[in-house]
Amino acid sequence: MFLGIWKYVKKEWRLNMIVLLIDVVGATCTTLFGLGAANILTAVVKRQLSIVLIWFAILAATSLVWAVQIVLHERMLTSAIQKMDADIRDNMTERLIAAGYAGFHQHNPSVYISWMTNDIGTINDYGFFCLEMAALQAITIAMSIATIVHFHYSMIATIVVLLVIMYFVPKAFTKKMNQAALSATKTAETATKIISDFLSGFDDLLMLNLQKQITTAVNHASTTLREARVKQATANGTMMGASNLSSLLSQTVVRAQAVLLYLWKLAPIGGISAASYFSATIFSSTTGMLANLMEVKTTKPVFEKYMALIPEATIAPQDQIDITDQPAAIKFEHVDFRYESSLILDDCSFELPAGRKLILVGDSGTGKTTVLDLIAKKIRPTQGTLRYGSVAYNHIVATQLRDQLIYINQKPHLFNDTLRFNITLGSAIPDEDLLAAIEVSGLAPLIDNLSAGLETVISENGSDLSGGQVQRVALARGLAQKKHVWLIDEATSSLDPESTRDIEDRLMALDKVTMLVVSHHASERLRQQADQVVELVDGKVQSV
């Protein structure tokens, strides 16, 4: 029933067992207070002062234990939930990585951010907190039933019948609650995406004096999200209202039975107090427990969302061929690529020999980037064969192929981390290789002018660096990793002429690498430095 959430509860079973033991202490304190009040009333009527004093002492000690229990409960519950949240994020990340390029790009990154923030908040509120509360309520119910039966055995039959009735009340609301929960999480995704989209366009809107569009978009997203949350709260509230009604009626029945038992001299007067206290505890806890369990079930669609990510197709071990010793040559053999109804590449055949530098030109939209994406195995051809050396791509594991190549586009991503990390990306690069990469890429002057050198923290996406400096960092990445195949996609198209010449000269000067440069307007200088210039026309590569 709670497969998604139960996986993480079991994984962190040690922390959750501690929380459960603390819950047992809390339920015991609740029970002792009710039992103490009933026994004190009976002892007062019988004028048994010593028993009254003993029970007051017990209640005082229970109060102290209860106070400590509350502190420990909050600390350990938060610790357990935060650990399970981290486990969920780890699993989400693993599935995103396993989905590969095409799987990852089924959604905007803002959707995944929503999964890891909004959805985990939903899982906490309606999943972990509700499940823990249901466990506490179940323990309290069991202790309360055992105590109330102590006053007269006949109460057990009444309580069981009423509990069965109460069990079926929330069932009528399950479907509507699930629909409302799923709608709320999807609306949260959309709201996050809209807000992220308009905030990303701040500069463009500012220059057109249309900043009000951001306010309009945020207000619209907030309104839509509010409506979805209200619908979810209404569905939950309706179920809670019906459950509370059945709880209050059940408490009244048990209290009436206790009064009759006392009038018939079958139970002490304390039984009336016990019936009032424990019936309220039993039925209100049952109401809460059933409601909480129903709310836990509403998290199922949330888990199903990210479990629906399909891992990238893998190659059977017996079909894999190692390309480590293969020459870094790329070959297209009668390759077609179709996107929806459009044929982008049509019987495309060409060869990029190892150690050669080839420039691919062509009009916008002709499929130049598609060629690079096919080489990088981001996408797969509709028909035909690609080869690395002599090995067909359908025998090459994507991770091994990526070990051989680097893909530099117009806007390489820089992380909000040190310059060293942005070059090495966390890989263990020997200092001599790192320094060589810095020198060849032309980053040395920049690093010399930074007070912290390589340990300087770069702003998110390199906003504190020029376009040329960002491209030099990307160039240094490939050099430090000693990549054999370089795929360059319009890397200098947005740079000033001086930076463009410098970056292109450094790329063309690289030795013993295979390079394919995609350029919409390749300069004559760049063309002369390349080994070959080809053009993509009507889905085919042609010599220029």
* Beta bridge pairs of residue 541: 536
CATH number at residue 466: 3.40.50.300
353 and 397 share one domain: yes
Total-model pTM: 0.76
Closest CA to 37 of 147, 139, 143: 147
| DSSP-derived 3-state class of residue 216 | helix
Q: What is the bridge-based pairing of β-strands 357-361 and 532-537?
A: parallel
99 and 224 share one domain: yes
221-252 core/surface letters (b: 16 or more CB in 10 A; e: else): beeebeebeebbeebbeebbebbbebbeebbe
139, 281 contact by CB (below 8 A):
no
Task: Give 81's contacts (C-beta < 8 A, 6+ positions apart).
Answer: 124, 128, 129
Tally of domains within the chain: 2
CATH number at residue 72: 1.20.1560.10
Angle between helices 212-263 and 174-200 (to 10 degrees): 160
> Quick check: is 502 in a domain?
yes
303 and 324 share one domain: no
Q: Distance (Å, rounded) from C-alpha 239 to C-alpha 510?
A: 69
Closest CA to 99 of 111, 88, 107: 107
518, 371 contact by CB (below 8 A):
yes
159 and 229 share one domain: yes
Q: Where are the beta strands (DSSP E) in 138-193?
A: none
CB atoms within 10 A of CB 471: 30
pLDDT digits (tens, 9 = 90+) for 204-251: 777 777 888 889 999 999 999 999 999 888 888 888 788 778 888 888
How confident is the model at residue 435, as a pLDDT?
92
125 and 212 share one domain: yes
Last residue of a domain, one of 307, 335, 368: 307
Residues (pLDDT < 70) of the chain are: 1-3, 544
Task: Give 210's contacts (C-beta < 8 A, 6+ positions apart).
Answer: none
440, 482 contact by CB (below 8 A):
no
Amino acid occupying residue 219 = N
352 and 433 share one domain: yes
Angle between helices 49-98 and 13-45 (to 10 degrees): 160
> Quick check: is 313 in a domain?
no
223 and 109 share one domain: yes
Six-digit token pair at 109? 């990154």
329 and 386 share one domain: yes
* Beta bridge pairs of residue 534: 360, 543
Q: What is the bridge-based pairing of β-strands 540-543 and 532-537?
A: antiparallel
387 and 491 share one domain: yes
Q: What is the bridge-based pairing of β-strands 383-388 and 391-392?
A: antiparallel
> Quick check: is 312 in a domain?
no
In which domain, by residue range, is 498 found? Answer: 318-543
